[in-house]
Amino acid sequence: MRNHSTPHALVCGSTGSGKSVFAVSCLEYAINMGVKNIHIFDPKYSPELSIYSKKYNVYNDIIDIENGMNSLVQLMEERIRNGFDGRKIKPKDIIYVFIDEFADAFDNARKGKDLDVKKEVIVGYYNQTKQEILHGIKPRPMMKIEKVGEIKPLDKNLKILAQKGRSLGIRIMAATQRASAKTIQGDIKVNFPVQVCFRVPKEVDSKVVLDESGAESLTGLGDGLIKSPEYLNIIRFQGYFKKD
């Protein structure tokens, strides 16, 4: 978690593959390390993540997720302005971000004109009558609702955090069940140097995540493949799993 070469992880796996248990294990590891600043984005209201809401920031509603991610970008920019040095990062300074099912969050997030910030502005004044002028009455303004700004979309904020966050104490884990090229785009993938893939339905899904086949043949229940700058090759590992 303190390694600058592996700050962020992308995790993929179908139902029953062990993805959720792996994610919770990573959260618990961060907590045991002493990380206090934890943000969990959970658009599916998962029971295994809701238990963290008493102590940490858990966002479920899509608007809350968007606002929470935007707040993290602002916090990151504040660290940049203050000259934060993340080379000797301590657990208390780490901002741990976990976004579950980010593909669903991206799909449901606001897009296009819904991101416009609008405000009522003065565009002129109505002509005054002689009586109004005589009595010193101020002219009535003509108001119009106009676009005055734009909210950054959720996927763009996540990319900004991933791009700039590694030297500022931000660590991100992004998980999804949907291993499609549309979901896991190149500009997202390049900013997540660690890629973990549990069992997926098709060979093409494995190639999207790891650039290699293999994850389609895994057995489930925590049987996974990991690709990391710290390893020469893709490594097969056994993660924790939960038996019913």
Question: Does residue 154 have a pLDDT over 60?
Answer: yes
Q: Is residue 61 part of a domain?
A: yes
| Final residue belonging to a domain, choices 96, 131, 149 | 149
| Identity at 30, one-letter amino acid code | A
pLDDT digits over 183-227, tens only?
787 777 888 999 999 999 999 999 999 999 999 999 988 999 999
| Reported pTM | 0.85
pLDDT digits over 103-131, tens only?
899 999 998 888 887 888 888 888 888 88
Contact, 143 vs 169, CB < 8 A?
A: no
Q: How many domains does the chain have?
A: 2
pLDDT of 135 reads 84
> What is the rounded distance in angstroms from the CA atom of residue 22 to the CA atom of residue 198?
10
Shared domain for 26 and 86, answered yes or no, is yes
Half-sphere exposure of 48 (CA within 13 A, CB side): 13
For position 163, which CATH number holds?
A: 3.40.50.300
Q: Is residue 243 part of a domain?
A: no
> What is the rounded distance in angstroms from the CA atom of residue 27 to the CA atom of residue 42?
13
Which structural domain, as residue segments, surrounds residue 179? 9-109+153-238
Shared domain for 136 and 159, answered yes or no, is no
Q: What 3-state class would DSSP assign to 137?
A: coil
| Identity at 56, one-letter amino acid code | Y
Shared domain for 131 and 161, answered yes or no, is no
H-helix or E-strand containing 236? strand 235-238
Contact, 197 vs 210, CB < 8 A?
A: yes
Shared domain for 104 and 193, answered yes or no, is yes
Shared domain for 126 and 179, answered yes or no, is no
Question: Does residue 2 have a pLDDT over 70?
Answer: no
| Final residue belonging to a domain, choices 101, 131, 149 | 149
Question: Looking up tokens 């609702």, which residue turns up?
Answer: 145
Shared domain for 28 and 103, answered yes or no, is yes
Shared domain for 41 and 96, answered yes or no, is yes
In 128-184, alpha helices (H): 130-134, 154-164
